Structure 1
Amino acid sequence: MSSSPAVAQTSNREVRFEVAYATFREFINEKWRAASLALDHPVGPAAAAELDSLLGPWADRPIGADCAYPSFVSRDGFPVEFSVSWRRGRPELRVLFEPGGDVPTPRAAQEAGRALTRTLAARPGVSLERYLAVEDLFVVDEPESFRPTVWLSMSHRPGAAPGYKVYLNPQARGVPAVPEVMCAAMSRLGLARAWDRVARSYDALAEAGHQLEFFALDLADTPQARVKVYFRHVGLVDLDEVASLARRHDPGLLEPAYRDVYGSPALPDNEPMTCLAFRSGVDVPDEANVYLRLPGAARDEREAADRVAAVLRRYGVDPGRHRAVAAALVGPGTAPGRHELLSVRATGSRPDLGVYFRFDVYGRPVPGLHA
């Protein structure tokens, strides 16, 4: 690859021109196949068909050279994110997206997400009971532009059925209403006592720069199904302040990962995130994922890949597969991609790890905050 910025910019423009003529379906399916091959991941035709059927009619539209509806999923409004999770060293491939509506408006996207979520009810192992119990708290008549609406994700691990998750916006009724919305949602889900530990700290966390921004549900009928709450960290923050509310969080185990990505001391100001996971029968947050944001921490994609590889190697995961999937998702010949987040979760002696990729399809950021 040329080191000339002018050559690189010309190449990226050519790639974006090619992608503009593809449909969202073609783009997502091609990325899924490429990532599966890079991971030596035997997804098989059944999982590929599951993904294709999940996308719905919105995905048959051309991506286009300009962003018709800017999704909060990415800085440039592109509505798709890929990720790979390593649990006990085994990779799981995942895709997250915001469905497009009949017209390019937040309300249409919200309604498309609601409708698509309902189509999952007949799939094996899927339960919408908890989602339907809280949906009304997170949808509004006039959603804001460039904010989360109703997002969906699909994950696949060899030998297991696909898993599904829905993401919602706890700020849909305004930031001041977030505590009330969250208390109502957790009460309906039977998690009021577990949420109380967070609720008591909510004002102090917000004052310190920890903003509650996403709410997610595993659409599963198993005891291990999670309710997940995501905080964005704005400013110089203590990465363990939110995570320490979980019963299974070991800052000592994760501190080397913070150092590998951010250096020492680990006080990043590029808006990392923390997710608290709740499970039925556990009276406190069960576990925490800390998401270390890579743009701004690494000078370029090569350095980002090196920092991710260092963390994987530290915790006993061969970085070769990561480099292969990064080449498939970030490298030349596809829409320019980038490493966005590295997640670390201490649930035992060996952390679970995840890497998140986003795509610079439109080449210019949407004004305002981004996910």
Structure 2
Amino acid sequence: MSVNWAGRHPELRLLFDSVGNGHDLGSPAEHARPVTRRFSQIREIFTPSAGRPSPAPLWRSLAWRPPSREVYKTYLGLYAWPPSERYAAVEEAMERLGMAAAWDDARQRVESVPGRREIEFFAIDETDETDARVKIYYRNHGADIGEMNRIASVAARHDGESALAAYRTLTAGGTAAGQAALSCLAFRPGLDRAAESTTYLRLADLAASDRQAVDRTSALLRREGVDPGPLHALATALTPGPLEDSRGFLALVSYRASGRRGDITTYFRFPVYDRPAPLLGLPGGQVRDQHAALSEGGRR
């Protein structure tokens, strides 16, 4: 569960994990689900019928900001594939969606930034409206906040000064971005480069407790003109125990510096699984806990 704090009313977001239910892009249940025209253009690209090693794991999410109607999104996990397959699928999907030029520009800009990172997720807004986004997520390895800011600067709309100040607040003045920090580039139709970027810092790694994580996030909210009281109330009500005694419930905090104040999202990780997680096969005989992959990805 996550909450975006921008605007007059917070936006509640719920991500549904379909692990274990057979709901991936290759399952009959998924093919029976109504999809938007945009998604129908690309869904086959992420399946073995298009030469992929396996169907992409699938998540659905909904977001609701009163009084607006709910918004739906789909996320495709690419992490089980070799890098070449990930790039091939993304390139073909962006071509079909008319965003090839923007993706070429973004990829070249990202690859010019020194550091280690990998594409991990491809996401699409489940609407056929003209401003619907496509989002591509990178997982960064060993990055500092300067590197995260350079990745975010790939987008056309990004205030680097505000972003660095936000990152410093979340890291308590440190320079490390934490384990597996995430970068999301959002693409919109008609633009020849990425439109916006969001940076996700893993407070579960950067803070010693949920109390510390909530306090740092509250300081950022306050600096952006947002009352942190509702965050404190939510975290206190939902955390399984005192905030001082827990760590990792407030797992991620994201910041988007694209002109809207308070564009901060808090991601809460619930202990929801009551059975051992299935394992994903990876190249080289490795395996990966798919539930952990979801939690580490810290969506969006």
State which of 230, 239, 249 in structure 2 corresponds to 1:338. Answer: 249
- Indicate the larger mover: 347-356 or 315-324: 347-356
Cα distance change, pair 92–114 in 1 and its aligned pair in 2 (3 A)? farther
CA distance in 2, matches of 1:314, 1:255: 13
**Structure 2 counterpart of 1:318, one-letter code:** D
Counterpart for residue 115 of structure 2: 208
The structure 1 segments of at least 4 consecutive aligned residues displaced by more than 3 Å after TM superposition are 111-121, 140-144, 170-173, 201-205, 361-370
Cα distance change, pair 214–151 in 1 and its aligned pair in 2 (3 A)? same
Q: CA deviation at 1:174?
A: 2.1
Counterpart for residue 355 of structure 1: 266
Counterpart for residue 284 of structure 2: none
In structure 1, the residue corresponding to 2:222 is in which secondary structure?
helix
**Structure 2 counterpart of 1:115, one-letter code:** A
Q: CA deviation at 1:209?
A: 1.3
In structure 1, the residue corresponding to 2:62 is in which secondary structure?
strand
Counterpart for residue 67 of structure 1: none
**Structure 2 counterpart of 1:98, one-letter code:** D
Residue 285 of structure 1 pairs with residue 199 of structure 2? no
CA distance in 2, matches of 1:202, 1:243: 9
Residue 162 of structure 1 pairs with residue 75 of structure 2? no
CA distance in 2, matches of 1:365, 1:311: 37
In structure 2, the residue corresponding to 1:313 is in which secondary structure?
helix
Q: CA deviation at 1:363?
A: 8.8
In structure 2, the residue corresponding to 1:95 is in which secondary structure?
strand
Counterpart for residue 119 of structure 1: 33
Q: What runs of 5+ residues in structure 1 fail to find an aligned partner? A: 1-81, 103-107, 122-127
Number of matched pairs: 273
TM-score, structure 2 length as denominator?
0.81
Cα distance change, pair 295–134 in 1 and its aligned pair in 2 (3 A)? same
Counterpart for residue 130 of structure 1: 38
Identity of aligned residues (%): 36
> Is the contact made by 1:228 and 1:278 (CA closer than 8 Å) also made in structure 2?
yes
> Is the contact made by 1:86 and 1:354 (CA closer than 8 Å) also made in structure 2?
yes
Partner deviation per Cα, 1:229-251 (whole Å, 9 max, x = no partner): 11111113411122111000111
**Structure 2 counterpart of 1:99, one-letter code:** S
CA distance in 2, matches of 1:114, 1:320: 45
Q: What runs of 5+ residues in structure 2 fail to find an aligned partner? A: 278-287
Q: CA deviation at 1:329?
A: 2.5
CA-atom RMSD, angstroms?
A: 2.8
Q: CA deviation at 1:222?
A: 1.6
Counterpart for residue 280 of structure 2: none
Residue 91 of structure 1 pairs with residue 10 of structure 2? yes
Partner deviation per Cα, 1:35-57 (whole Å, 9 max, x = no partner): xxxxxxxxxxxxxxxxxxxxxxx
CA distance in 2, matches of 1:325, 1:219: 28
> Is the contact made by 2:102 and 2:194 (CA closer than 8 Å) also made in structure 1?
yes
Partner deviation per Cα, 1:50-72 (whole Å, 9 max, x = no partner): xxxxxxxxxxxxxxxxxxxxxxx
Cα distance change, pair 167–240 in 1 and its aligned pair in 2 (3 A)? same
Counterpart for residue 191 of structure 1: 99
CA distance in 1, matches of 2:211, 2:27: 35
CA distance in 1, matches of 2:275, 2:112: 35
Larger RCO, structures 1/2 (Cα 8 Å, 6+ apart): 1
- Higher helix fraction: Structure 1 or Structure 2? 1
Residue 313 of structure 1 pairs with residue 222 of structure 2? yes
In structure 2, the residue corresponding to 1:215 is in which secondary structure?
strand
> Is the contact made by 1:101 and 1:111 (CA closer than 8 Å) also made in structure 2?
no
TM-score, structure 1 length as denominator?
0.67
In structure 1, the residue corresponding to 2:15 is in which secondary structure?
strand
**Structure 2 counterpart of 1:87, one-letter code:** A
In structure 2, the residue corresponding to 1:160 is in which secondary structure?
coil
Q: CA deviation at 1:109?
A: 3.8
Q: CA deviation at 1:120?
A: 4.7
In structure 2, the residue corresponding to 1:87 is in which secondary structure?
coil
In structure 1, the residue corresponding to 2:5 is in which secondary structure?
strand
In structure 2, the residue corresponding to 1:200 is in which secondary structure?
helix
CA distance in 2, matches of 1:190, 1:168: 19
> Is the contact made by 2:47 and 2:54 (CA closer than 8 Å) also made in structure 1?
yes
